[in-house]
């Protein structure tokens, strides 16, 4: 009388609502099913966002939030880029924009209007970095080895310049800014090693990729423009509110690195062990 059945099969055990243990088991079962459904839904949404294409001899994968919108933008913009603009010019633009960003942060600490340079620099960096390879593929003038080498060397230098700009600005402690640079470079190394081993180049981790990071940078810069710097004394160590934000980002990146390395190591170990048979 006082019972119900949650299973799909008629033979599944009926739950007595006055049996505490049975009710606890029922709750645990419902939680497990809900968690499984939520996990499957998240994976399904990421699959829908995923953009995958052939990047010369590599499989390029981007699951970032803006991935599909960015690809649509490239399809519209690439045919409209003047013929005299080549991929090398766009690479140089992406590199030089890092100095604009760093200058904006350094001088923006004393005069907030310089922070506008940061936003302009991030937009230019996105355009140069995103379209140098895209325009080469669109015009069928790719240089796989040259492009791969130059692109990633420039990316490393850009991250270093940005880190120095942040650390010398007054908004962030130099050591925290450099910790962010180190974490980002480790992530880059991780991606490069996967590319070498499995011929897959991952643009993003989950829903966040380079474009999403630039958007976060723009939003943070807007906050910096309007919000005065506040100082906090932590055990004799003076930190700003932006130091807390950067420290959180460093911790998150560290967790992503650890999880990615362990999961990839387990995956590669299983692949290699199959060859033993």
User: Is residue 2 included in any domain, yes or no?
Assistant: no
Q: How many domains does the structure of the chain reveal? A: 1
Cα separations in angstroms, 45 against 32, 34, 114, 208, 212: 20, 16, 39, 14, 17
The CA angle 28-31-37, to the nearest 5 degrees, is: 145
In the chain, % of residues over pLDDT 70: 81
Report, as an integer, the average pLDDT of 1-28.
Answer: 55
Instruction: Give the residues across from 240 on adjacent strands.
Output: 231
Report, as an integer, the average pLDDT of 31-44.
Answer: 67
Tell me the residue range of the domain where 147 lies: 81-200+208-276
User: Is residue 60 included in any domain, yes or no?
Assistant: no
Q: Check which CATH number belongs to the domain holding 132 and give it.
A: 1.20.120.1760
User: Is residue 18 included in any domain, yes or no?
Assistant: no
User: Is residue 167 included in any domain, yes or no?
Assistant: yes
For the stretch 25-36, pLDDT in tens is 766 777 677 766
Residue 10: what are its φ and ψ, rounded to 5°?
Answer: -65, -25
Confidence of residue 2 (pLDDT cuts 50, 70, 90): very low
Confidence of residue 48 (pLDDT cuts 50, 70, 90): low
Where helices occur in 168-240 by DSSP H, the ranges are: 174-198, 210-226
Q: What is the pLDDT of residue 4?
A: 47
User: Is residue 65 included in any domain, yes or no?
Assistant: no
Confidence of residue 41 (pLDDT cuts 50, 70, 90): low
User: Is residue 6 included in any domain, yes or no?
Assistant: no
The number of beta carbons lying within 10 Å of the beta carbon of residue 171 is 24
Residue 202: which H helix or E strand, with range? strand 200-202
User: Is residue 41 included in any domain, yes or no?
Assistant: no
Residue 75: what are its φ and ψ, rounded to 5°?
Answer: -60, -35
Q: What is the pLDDT of residue 116?
A: 97
**Is 217 a residue whose pLDDT tops 70?**
yes
Q: Give, as one character, the DSSP assignment of residue 19.
A: -
Q: What is the pLDDT of residue 259?
A: 93
In this prediction the pTM is 0.77
Please tell me the number of Cα atoms within 13 Å of 142 on its side-chain side: 16
For the stretch 86-101, pLDDT in tens is 999 999 999 999 999 9
Say if CB 162 and CB 217 are below 8 A apart. no
Helix axis angle for 144-167 and 174-198, nearest 10°, is 160
Q: What is the pLDDT of residue 202?
A: 77
Report, as an integer, the average pLDDT of 177-182.
Answer: 95
Report, as an integer, the average pLDDT of 157-181.
Answer: 95
**Is 73 a residue whose pLDDT tops 70?**
yes
Confidence of residue 112 (pLDDT cuts 50, 70, 90): very high
Say if CB 108 and CB 118 are below 8 A apart. yes
User: Is residue 68 included in any domain, yes or no?
Assistant: no
């Amino acid at each position: 009388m006082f019972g119900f059945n949650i299973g799909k099969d008629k033979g599944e055990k009926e739950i007595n609502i006055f049996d505490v243990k049975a009710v606890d088991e029922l709750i645990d079962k419902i939680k497990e099913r809900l968690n499984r459904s939520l996990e499957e839904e998240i994976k399904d949404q990421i699959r829908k966002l995923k953009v995958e294409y052939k990047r010369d001899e590599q499989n390029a994968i981007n699951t970032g939030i803006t991935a599909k919108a960015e690809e649509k933008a490239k399809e519209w913009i690439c045919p409209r880029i003047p013929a005299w603009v080549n991929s090398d010019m766009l690479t140089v633009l992406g590199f030089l924009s890092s100095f604009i960003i760093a200058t904006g942060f350094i001088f923006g600490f004393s005069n907030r209007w310089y922070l506008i340079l940061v936003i302009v620099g991030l937009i230019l960096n996105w355009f140069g970095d995103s379209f140098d390879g895209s325009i080469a593929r669109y015009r069928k003038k790719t240089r796989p080895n040259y492009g791969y080498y130059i692109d990633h060397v420039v990316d490393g230098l850009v991250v270093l310049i940005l880190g120095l700009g942040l650390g010398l600005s007054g908004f962030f402690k130099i050591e925290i800014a450099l910790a962010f640079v180190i974490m980002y470079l480790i992530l880059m190394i991780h991606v490069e090693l996967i590319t070498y081993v499995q011929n897959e180049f991952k643009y993003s981790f989950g829903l966040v990729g380079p474009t999403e990071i630039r958007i976060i940078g723009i939003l943070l810069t807007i906050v910096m423009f309007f919000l005065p710097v506040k100082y906090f004394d932590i055990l004799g160590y003076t930190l700003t509110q932006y130091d807390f934000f950067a420290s959180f980002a460093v911790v998150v990146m560290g967790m992503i690195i650890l999880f990615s390395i362990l999961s990839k190591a387990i995956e590669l170990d299983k692949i290699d062990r199959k060859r033993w048979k």
